[in-house]
Chains A and B, each alone.
Chain A
């Protein structure tokens, strides 16, 4: 059963349009600084620990096989990220789609909690870990298009530019500053424009790109 569910999940990950054989650059996972440190524009790099209604193990789902994970692609669950400005949270029925078939873990406390939410048809009140002020418009879709679909970077790395190595965490925690200076520092860098060209370009630096 366990093998079967792995096959299902891997197949699903492939269908999600993600290429195999990722070579993940470790640069993406460098934390913004030690706990308590601040970036030059005064923001803490490391966010607080956020207690979620279910202690979701990202490492079990997206972590490497060597560390006991299933290497499910980020975009398989966070499917809205490539279609919308916001990544959203996976719908509850998506969790249930797999977990209804995985008998071996159904009695585990976290899965029992999950199934109880489903039985009540109640949305799980997940808390925001990465937040932005209302006057900032970050667009997930644009970044995913650039780094995953154009440059062919693995999603674990591309998502990691902002979110860190979530695949090694249980519940997510902010590890980058997500401040304006920090955003601009990346927009100023030269990035290859696609997977095959050596041409480079940097991100836009107009105010209205984010403040509109």
Chain B
């Protein structure tokens, strides 16, 4: 790795990294703008990359790597950006980051496209007569200053953001504290707040750390840790160690719709949506019959699981009865095990109970202290991530509807896209007299705002990030510009926040000319916790060079918590609504997540791992359901809930529960650049108003729908060939699963 440092030359002439980028800027930016898509030979048109006094390691045509942090999801993977002639060309993992371990995922790789997107917002825009028109930053800042009030009276002044961490989170916290705003609301449409709440009740912490590589068997209830999980790159590395262990680790995945992780599992078990907790209790009951586990639960809990016998569980969940004792036996044989729960069990009215029942398996198996831990203490807890939830947005929505919100500053989230229609969020937003959004591209929420401000791309900005899920020590990931900003008027959100804070509390912030100065000062102040012996400037340069500040791994054991048997109580079996017989599964794709990445054409072009479909939405249904409905692949279906309907082409896949239909999240944007707009449909919109009873979070997988076939059929754009297995020829010998004696095939045995 090439280290960045100040050379003797540049020190002598006072040229530092920022100046260096500026000096490169003239030729660099010009050639960036002129250099795209040139296919002709033209003399005297383009500029040659020209340097004033480059660092000694800079050679035109040869890449230099700078460390930064990927911001495509919340994993905070350390990355290295290949920079050539002042342009960022490629992103790779930073080997010094324990999270990325020198690798990044496809979503991370595509981050560079957001930076070069042709639809980047270039100037501040102000709405006049319903139309956004270019304005100046001076005008914009004067309008924003109007939201900073020093009296507690008057309507709410809200800052609404997506999940944040690091020093930006500290500034955001300071907004209500300083009086620059009244509330900071953090919203995440794919929040894990239910899991956090259950963890707190059962293990004493919101975030537990599951060590996949320390387990002999992983039983995962819909946790897509290899795909759209909390930290897929770190999990994939652990998973590789888990698989390569002397005794190969076994993965059993139980879920209503196959995820990428499910596709990798040794045994994939389909389950009726929302009944994961019932199966977990059935497994607990089976395990309690062994003397090793019989004393691991309190009498109340033992009594609570007693009704969940094999027949009952099989009847409710649809899982074959004989599989339940077999999975229980395998859990015991391959201990230590690790039981994980993902999004599917959380997304129901009884989501908390589902999650608690699954967590009870870890308790019975006594996985705490073996494969289940809590994170080491972060030396600076104020930098810990603020993970969003849905409940606080719901409260805000109610306040907006009542006209209690006077102004709203929005950053890093797109609620107009990701909230269901029943909330009428866009209508309520119109009741807020002043709303401003910081965006790189005009998304749906920005289109509803009065003021829209051009945001620097993550590859142009400074920042610090702390991941929620860290298993190998605590890491503060450093984000630094990999390139001079493409559009001169784009600014950092941190700069705008600092301006507002200076106005509200000048004595605390006046010494920082900009966000960079604030960040540098704050990072250097943290020096004693990391490297107290070096000089401040050297510490800062070393930090930028490494891209991470690390504390060694020190996982802590989970405290023993007494919890009530009510936590694991499962609801009575619901009767099917004849009008809406199917359950809608808004599937989270590893590449699209909550729709934030839909503007990246590489990801639109990347085939979905299971269906290979590109540039589209689709409705996954089981072949048996398709037969019953007389649906063929490509038939356009209307999927109708009580809240509305969407249309999508049918895709037949055996990896889904026959009573479900899955439509991927991420598409169906009305505004988000040329690559996202009018591609596919948005299943968020037709979700029913069902919430987790304990936490108030939106139940993402509880919406009931009807499926209606239209007379239209459209071809899919997809990579895979014919789906009629083996195209009528016996290309690969196959055997029905029931006829396989796994004992002869692999070292893995489910007895």
Using CB atoms and an 8 Å cutoff, list the residues of chain A in contact with chain B: 43, 47-48, 50-51, 80, 83-89, 91-93, 118, 121-135, 140, 173-174, 178-179
Contacts and interface: CB of A to CB of B under 8 A. Distances in A.
B30 A125 contact: yes
Contact of A88 (B26, B35, B47, B60): B60
Given A47-B44, A179-B41, 18 more contacts: A80-B59, A83-B62, A87-B60, A88-B48, A88-B59, A89-B48, A93-B9, A93-B52, A93-B53, A121-B19, A121-B53, A126-B47, A126-B48, A127-B45, A128-B43, A128-B46, A133-B41, A178-B41
Contacts of B48: 88-89, 126-128
Contact of A131 (B24, B41, B51): B41
Given A123-B50, A134-B37, A128 B61 contact: no
A135 B54 CA distance: 28
Given A48-B44, A91-B53, A93-B52, A125 B27 contact: yes
A129 B47 CA distance: 9
A127 B46 contact: yes
Given A50-B43, A127-B44, A128-B47, A122 B61 contact: no
A139 B714 CA distance: 47
Given A133-B40, A178-B41, A86 B23 contact: no
Interface in B35-77: 35, 37-54, 59-62
Contacts of B50: 89, 91-92, 123-126
A135 B37 CA distance: 9
B44 A84 contact: no
A50 B44 contact: yes
Contacts of A173: 43
Given A80-B60, A88-B61, A125-B27, A43 B53 contact: no
A139 to B, nearest CB: 9
A84 B61 CA distance: 6
Chain B interface, >50% SS class: loop
Nearest to A134: B38
A130 B43 contact: yes
Interface of B: 9, 15, 19, 23-24, 26-27, 30, 35, 37-54, 59-62
A74 B49 CA distance: 18
A85 B59 CA distance: 10
A88 B24 CA distance: 13
Given A86-B60, A133-B39, A92 B46 contact: no
B22 to A, nearest CB: 9
Contacts of B47: 125-128
Contacts of A86: 49, 60-61
Listed from nearest, the 10 A-B pairs whose CB atoms lie closest are A88-B60, A50-B44, A84-B61, A86-B61, A93-B53, A123-B50, A47-B43, A85-B61, A91-B51, A92-B52
Contacts of A50: 43-44
A142 to B, nearest CB: 12
A43 B24 contact: no
Given A80-B59, A88-B59, A88-B60, A132 B49 contact: no
Nearest to A132: B41
B233 to A, nearest CB: 29
Contact of B44 (A122, A123, A129): A129
Chain A interface, >50% SS class: loop
B39 A128 contact: no
Contacts of A174: 43
A51 to B, nearest CB: 7
Nearest to A123: B50
A16 to B, nearest CB: 15
Contact of B43 (A83, A85, A129, A134): A129
A123 B39 contact: no
B405 to A, nearest CB: 48
A133 to B, nearest CB: 5
Contacts of B51: 89, 91-92, 123
Contacts of A178: 41
Contact of A123 (B24, B35, B45, B60): B24
A123 B41 contact: no
A193 B45 CA distance: 37
A180 to B, nearest CB: 10
Contacts of A88: 48-49, 59-61
A102 to B, nearest CB: 19
A192 to B, nearest CB: 27
B31 to A, nearest CB: 9
Contacts of B54: 91
A128 B43 CA distance: 6
A50 B23 CA distance: 24
Contacts of A93: 9, 52-53
10 contacts: A47-B43, A85-B61, A89-B50, A91-B51, A121-B53, A123-B23, A125-B47, A129-B43, A132-B41, A179-B41
A84 B43 contact: no
B95 to A, nearest CB: 25
A135 B30 CA distance: 20
A131 B27 contact: no
A50 B42 CA distance: 10
A80 B60 CA distance: 7
Contacts of B62: 83-84
Contacts of B40: 133
Nearest to B38: A134
Contacts of B35: 134
A122 B51 CA distance: 8
Nearest to B62: A84
A85 B60 CA distance: 8
B2 to A, nearest CB: 15
With most chain A CB atoms within 10 A of its CB, the pick from B42, B49, B61, B62 is B61
A179 B41 CA distance: 9
B45 A131 contact: yes
Nearest to A51: B44
B611 to A, nearest CB: 32
A84 B44 CA distance: 22
Contacts of A80: 59-61
Nearest to B28: A123
A191 B50 CA distance: 34
A71 to B, nearest CB: 24
A89 B31 CA distance: 13
Given A123-B52, A126-B50, A133 B30 contact: no
